[in-house]
Structure formats: structure tokens, C-alpha cells
Amino acid sequence: MDSMEIDDGIYLDKNFTMEGLITTADFRRKPKTCRCVTVCLTLLCALLLAGNIGQIIYYEIITACSSAVEAKASYDRMSQETEHLQNESDSLAAERQQLLSNYDSLTAERKQLEARLRNLTEEKEQLQQSFTSLSSERDEFKAGFNNLKKARDGLQANYDTLKQQSSQLRTNFNDVQRSLRGLQDRQANLIVAKEVLQAKFSDLQKEKDNLQTRYVTVMTNRDQLQSNYSSLKRDSDQLQRNYNTMSRSKNGLQTSYNSLWKEREQLRLNYNSLWRENNELEANYSSLVTDKDKLQNWADKLLAKLKAIPCMEGWKKFDISCYYFSSVKKNWTESRKACDAQGADLVIIDSMEEQVFINKILNMNQNAWIGLSDSLKEGTWLWVDGSPVTRSFWQPGQPNSFNGNQDCAEFVQKNIQPGGEWNDDGCFAEQAWICEK
Ligand SMILES: [Ca+2]
Ligand SMILES: [Ca+2]
Ligand SMILES: [Ca+2]
């Protein structure tokens, strides 16, 4: 058990009910004894009084006949006994009085003891409170002790560490001491050197004074230069900022220039390539122009020859073609067969001049088949050589494919400008036709 702990078993085992002082039984027993003595004395007195009365009755009633002497003697003895009993009674009364006095004394003593008991009870309660308080303090002390124990362990660890550091410092101290001795030797040497230097110092002091004078002059110049330097520094900073700005611009321009340079190189390459292609094309063009001129001459000569060739009898000449205008009537298919039998086909009208020419040949309001139909696909008009219509002369509202059965085109002669119109009609209708070859 730790020295800080308190053995509370002593307090717990202690009987604060006045054990060893006086017991509750003692408090009750002493008043009862007094009462018993009093009762016994009373009973004894009553018994003695009854005996005397019995003897008197006996001598008066039973032995009335005895002699007066005996009676007198008896009376005397009785008187003596009575006196003796009276004395005893007095003695007992005195004893009773003594006992009553003792009883009162004991009663007072009991009251005192009760008062002491109350005091002791209060003191016990105070002690109990003190014990509780001390228990709390003990717990606190125990917690504090544990904390101190931990702190002590920590300090012990620190102490061990410091001890190691102390050993290290002691070793270092020894090293430093050795170094100190070396330094002391060097100090002695330095003192000698110092005296030499002291002399030199005096000389240098003089030189210093001279230099001080020159220094003041130089300082004045330096301040002036410092002022100039500050001004130049500001200018330099401004120039530096301008330079940075221009540098960034230059970098941007350099990037753009590089990009443009690459594009220029690419364009130059493309230009060279195009130049070569252009030269080749120009050469080809010149060659083609020469060929075209030759062909044009040849075509002109050929066209002139074709125009000069006369048509067969019954055919009419226009430009380089010959036209046949039938005098009989057939449907569109038979008409085409008739043209084919003569090495021709139904006429293909592809110019205003040809339209006007045909209109002039036909009679007034005459209709005639031409080589145009939409029999292959309704609404798509094709010439007999498969070519589409490039120039049309349809009547207003035509072609209307009336009743859904008009797939062949006819020429309708009209004396209106420019000349004649077209209409779609049923291919089965029989009428004149126009061949071209
Ligand atoms: Ca034609
Ligand atoms: Ca049609
Ligand atoms: Ca029609």
C-alpha cells in the first residue's frame, strides 16, 4: 500500500455506538434495578406488616386464654420485633432513598452520556463528511500521483537523454579545451604579430586620414553619380519595360513571320508548280489553238462543200441539211419509217432559223410530224437522235397530252412571228411529215 493512501478500514470497523463506554442495555438496566429494589422493599414491608397483624390476631383470638404474662411477654417480644422491623424498615427506607439518589445520579449521568452520544454522533457525521472529502482528495491525489509518475518517467527519459548529451558535451568540452590550448599558443603568436601590426596600423592610420579626405571628395562625387545613376535607372527601367513589350510584340511578330514564311514557301512551291503547269498549259493551248485553227479551216472548207452539195430532187436545201415535205399523210411511226427509207429521219429543229425555214415551206395552217416525242417517258420530250430539246416553240398551253394520249409533236404552220408553233398530238393521227438528212 502506498504511503499516500489512508486505511479507511479503521473508520469503517470503529463502532460509534458508544461501545466500550456505555451500552443501551446499561441505560435500560439501571432504572429497572432501582424499580425492582423499590418494589421488593415495599413487598417486604407489606409482608412484615401482615405477619404482625397475623400474630396479633393469633394472640387475640386463638390464645386469648393464655395468661396475661405470656401475653405481656409476647407483646414485648412483638414490640421488640416490631421495633426491630421498624428499624429495618427505616434502614430499607434509607437504602431506598440512597438508591433513589443513585437513580437520580445515574439518570443525570445517562443524560450526560446521551448528550455526549449526540455530540459523538455529530462528530461522527463530521468525520464521515471529512472521510468522504478525504476520499475524494485521496482519489485526486492518486490521479495526481499517477500524472506525476508519468511526468517522472518522462523526466527520467529526459534525464537519460540529457545525461547522454552531457557525456557528449563533456567529450566536446575536452576537445574544446585542447583547441583552447592550441588557440592560446596561437594567441601568443598573434600578440607578437599584433605589435608588428600595431606599428603598421599607425602608418595605416595616417594613410587612412589622407584617404578619409579623399574619401569625402569621392563620396561627394559618388552622391552626384548616385543621383545620375537613379535617373539613369528610372530611364533604364522604362526602357526595360518598353523592351519587354517590344520583345513580346517581336516574339508575336516572329511567330507570325515564321508562319507567313512557311505559307510563303508553300505558296512559292505552289506558284512554281502552277507556273510549270501554266507553261505546260500554255504550250498545250498554243498547240490546241494551232490544231483548232487547222480544224476550223478544215471545218469551214467542209461546211462550204456541204452547203455546196445539192439535194435530191423533191428535197429542199437549208444550211447543210436537206428537207423533205411529204404530200401524203401517215401516222408518226409510219412517217418516221418513210424518212428512214430515204436515208433520213424526222426533222430535228434546233434553231430559230430552221423553225422559220420550215414555217415558210409549209402551207397555211398545215400540220406536219417532226422528230419529237415523249413516248418513252411522259413529259420528257426527246428528239429522234435521243437529244433533249434546247430550243422549243410550243403553242400556248401545249404540250397538254390531251386525254392522256398525245406523245408525238407536230409542227403547226402560222403566219406569226417568229414562225410556226408546236403541239403534241396522238401518234396514231395521219398527217404530213418532214424528213431531214
Ligand atoms: Ca435540223
Ligand atoms: Ca404526251
Ligand atoms: Ca396537244
Ligand nearest to the CA of 374: 2
Distance 363 CA to ligand 3 centre (A): 20
Final residue before a domain boundary, out of 136, 161, 186: 161
Distance 358 CA to ligand 2 centre (A): 23
Selection from 41-45, 277-281, 405-409 with the highest mean pLDDT: 405-409
237 confidence band (pLDDT: 50, 70, 90): confident
Q: DSSP states of 150-173 as a string?
A: HHHHHHHHHHHHHHHHHHHHHHHH
Domain contains 109: yes
Domain, as residue range, for 383: 312-436
Work out the average pLDDT over 371-399. Answer: 96
Distance 433 CA to ligand 1 centre (A): 14
pLDDT digits 0-9 by tens, 398-410: 999 998 999 999 9
pLDDT digits 0-9 by tens, 137-196: 878 868 876 887 887 787 688 768 768 876 886 877 688 688 778 767 887 876 787 788
What residue has cell string 495526481? 144
Distance 331 CA to ligand 3 centre (A): 15
Work out the average pLDDT over 218-227. Answer: 80
Final residue before a domain boundary, out of 133, 161, 189: 161
Domain contains 233: no
Q: What does pLDDT average to over the chain?
A: 81
Work out the average pLDDT over 121-126. Answer: 85
- pLDDT at residue 2 greater than cutoff 70: no
Distance 354 CA to ligand 1 centre (A): 7
Structure confidence at residue 347 (pLDDT): 98
pLDDT digits 0-9 by tens, 48-63: 777 677 666 655 655 5
Distance 409 CA to ligand 3 centre (A): 8
47 confidence band (pLDDT: 50, 70, 90): confident
- pLDDT at residue 204 greater than cutoff 60: yes
Ligand nearest to the CA of 427: 2
**Least reliable range by pLDDT among 341-350, 371-380, 408-417:** 408-417
Domain contains 215: no
Q: What share of the chain is helix, strand, coil (3-state, %, to 5)?
A: 70, 10, 20
Ligand nearest to the CA of 407: 2
Distance 367 CA to ligand 2 centre (A): 17
Q: In the chain, how many domains are there?
A: 2
- pLDDT at residue 36 greater than cutoff 90: no
Domain contains 242: no
Domain contains 225: no
Selection from 219-223, 337-341, 363-367 with the highest mean pLDDT: 337-341
User: pLDDT exceeding 70 applies to what percent of the chain?
Assistant: 82
**Least reliable range by pLDDT among 103-112, 216-225, 319-328:** 216-225
Residue 182 or residue 248, greater confidence: 248
DSSP strand pairing (321-325 vs 432-436): antiparallel
Structure confidence at residue 56 (pLDDT): 61
- pLDDT at residue 257 greater than cutoff 90: no
Domain contains 238: no
Torsion over CA: 338, 341, 344, 348 (sign): positive
User: Length of the chain, please?
Assistant: 437
- pLDDT at residue 1 greater than cutoff 50: no
User: What grid cell was written down for 367?
Assistant: 400540220
Work out the average pLDDT over 226-249. Answer: 84
Residues with C-beta atoms within 5 A of ion ligand 3: 406, 423-424
Distance 328 CA to ligand 3 centre (A): 22
Final residue before a domain boundary, out of 161, 192, 222: 161
Alpha carbon distance 399, 401 (integer Å): 6
Domain contains 405: yes
Q: What is the CATH number of the domain that holds 349?
A: 3.10.100.10
Structure confidence at residue 191 (pLDDT): 73
Distance 375 CA to ligand 3 centre (A): 14
Distance 359 CA to ligand 1 centre (A): 13
Domain contains 258: no
pLDDT digits 0-9 by tens, 19-34: 444 444 444 444 555 5
- pLDDT at residue 94 greater than cutoff 70: yes
Structure confidence at residue 173 (pLDDT): 66
What secondary structure, in 3-state letters, does 91-145 show? Answer: HHHHHHHHHHHHHHHHHHHHHHHHHHHHHHHHHHHHHHHHHHHHHHHHHHHHHHH
